[in-house]
């Protein structure tokens, strides 16, 4: 015969288990958020760097840093200038192809800023996110601004995959035999995955999904494959990829690697492919691990490969330093604009942002606070986010855009 306590325990068991099940269901949802993915990628990159230090010691890191000199930094700045200008040109071509205006000068400045933020912030993509949202807001079409950056980055990645695949399939490298055996099944698997995704999208919402898919394909065709844009996108992608390889060869020469350029080419491709993995700390992590392994497998020494990767990371950061000038210039311009538009009344600022501009309308008496005219003006008054003229934070958007913009708010 069960006691009352036993019956209460039995009755309460399902109730107490429900929060546990809810918590277990909520954990995967929390892990799929953008912030969680960024943190997990940063932790993975830090763990990989810790393993490299544990296995190879700090000598490879310090040796690479000691070998960097002034001529190497100047050469990196020159290579970075070429790759950034051609990347910005590709971005401007894609933007024009999908119907939004982007002059080359502002595109170069924004691209430099994005490169520096990618190198300085965890995840390696926050600069591109900020670039996409800011351009979309400045043109009044956030969706097209974001899609222009996505298509531009897709063009660069496709150029890397195609050229890298050709190099890894033909040039002698530690992975040539493995790539030759894996290329056919990987290609078939990719085609099958694309077919499955397209079928699921079409079956889930035939009319709406079909229109959205046709719109995306039309923009991709106009932005990347049209007769007007395709030559420029192809040339710019080839020049940018050649610049990245030249930066890798420069890093190898700074370290003192005696391998020739044909021997370094497949190793550079492997390093560039590893940099695309979202498991890094400002770009550091997979690049160092893959380069150390590739140099060791090629008989050039894993420690030397790690030094090459470290020098490459430092030179890439140096090449993006003009982005700091862009950040400071935009911050100072926003500061001056905020000072000119700040109201003279005390308490107009809250949280560092300038308050709304003073109203020129006459002040209504207190007795008529609920009058229909005042309710109508309040209803159609601009929102608080649209009245924020500028921000004192360096990542803010231009004052004319109407609201501050930070990578964290993306």
Lowest mean pLDDT among 35-39, 145-149, 168-172: 35-39
Give me the mean pLDDT over the 387-391 stretch. 39
- Which position has the higher pLDDT, 249 or 339? 249
Q: Residue 343's pLDDT band (boundaries 50, 70, 90)?
A: low
The reported pTM is: 0.69
Sequential DSSP letters for 286-336: HHHHHHHHHHHHTTS-HHHHHHHHHHHHHHHHHHTTHHHHHHHHHHHHHHH
Mean pLDDT for 232-252 is: 95
The pLDDT of residue 4 is above 70: no
Q: What is the pLDDT of residues 209-230, one digit of tens each?
A: 567 767 778 888 888 888 899 9
The pair of three-digit structure tokens given for residue 37, joined into one six-digit string: 């993915």
Task: Identify which has the larger pLDDT, 29 or 102.
Answer: 102
pLDDT exceeds cutoff 50 at 171: yes
Residue 16 has pLDDT above 70, yes or no: no
CA–CA gap between residue 70 and residue 201 (Å, rounded)? 54
Q: What percent of the chain has pLDDT over 90?
A: 32
pLDDT at site 195: 75
- Strand ranges, E, within 179-292: none
The pLDDT assigned to 400 comes to: 42
Structure tokens at 248: 């890798």
């Amino acid at each position: 015969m069960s006691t009352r306590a036993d019956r209460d325990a039995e009755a309460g068991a399902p109730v107490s288990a429900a929060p546990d099940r809810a918590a277990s269901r909520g954990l995967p949802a929390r892990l799929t958020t953008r912030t969680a993915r960024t943190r997990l990628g940063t932790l993975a990159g830090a763990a990989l760097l810790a393993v490299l230090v544990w296995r190879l010691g700090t000598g490879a890191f310090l040796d690479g840093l000691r070998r960097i000199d002034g001529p190497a930094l100047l050469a990196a700045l020159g290579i970075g200038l070429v790759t950034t200008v051609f990347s910005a040109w590709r971005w401007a071509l894609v933007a024009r192809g999908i119907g939004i205006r982007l002059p080359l000068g502002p595109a170069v400045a924004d691209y430099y800023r994005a490169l520096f933020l990618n190198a300085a912030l965890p995840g390696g993509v926050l600069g591109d996110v900020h670039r996409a949202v800011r351009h979309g807001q400045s043109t009044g079409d956030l969706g097209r601004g974001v899609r222009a950056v996505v298509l531009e980055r897709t063009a660069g990645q496709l150029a890397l995959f195609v050229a890298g695949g050709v190099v890894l399939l033909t040039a002698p490298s530690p992975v040539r035999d493995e790539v030759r055996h894996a290329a056919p099944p990987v290609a078939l698997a990719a085609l099958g995955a694309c077919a499955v995704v397209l079928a699921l999208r079409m079956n889930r919402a035939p009319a709406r999904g079909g229109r959205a898919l046709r719109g995306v394909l039309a923009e991709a065709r106009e932005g990347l494959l049209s007769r007007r844009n395709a030559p420029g996108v192809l040339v710019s992608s080839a020049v940018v990829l050649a610049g990245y390889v030249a930066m890798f060869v420069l890093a190898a020469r700074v370290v003192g690697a005696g391998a020739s350029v044909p021997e370094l080419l497949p190793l550079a491709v492997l390093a560039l492919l590893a940099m695309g993995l979202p498991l890094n700390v400002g770009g550091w992590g997979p690049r160092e691990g893959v380069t150390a392994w590739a140099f060791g497998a090629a008989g050039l020494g894993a420690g030397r490969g790690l030094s090459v990767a470290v020098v490459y990371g430092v030179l890439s950061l140096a090449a993006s330093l003009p982005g700091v000038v862009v950040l400071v210039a935009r911050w100072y311009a926003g500061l001056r604009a905020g000072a000119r538009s700040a109201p003279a009344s005390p308490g107009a600022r809250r949280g560092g942002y300038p308050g709304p501009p003073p109203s020129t309308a006459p002040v209504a008496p207190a007795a008529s606070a609920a009058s229909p005219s005042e309710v109508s003006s309040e209803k159609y008054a601009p929102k608080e986010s649209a009245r924020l003229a500028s921000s004192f934070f360096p990542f803010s958007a231009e004052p004319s855009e109407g609201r501050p913009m930070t990578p964290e708010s993306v």
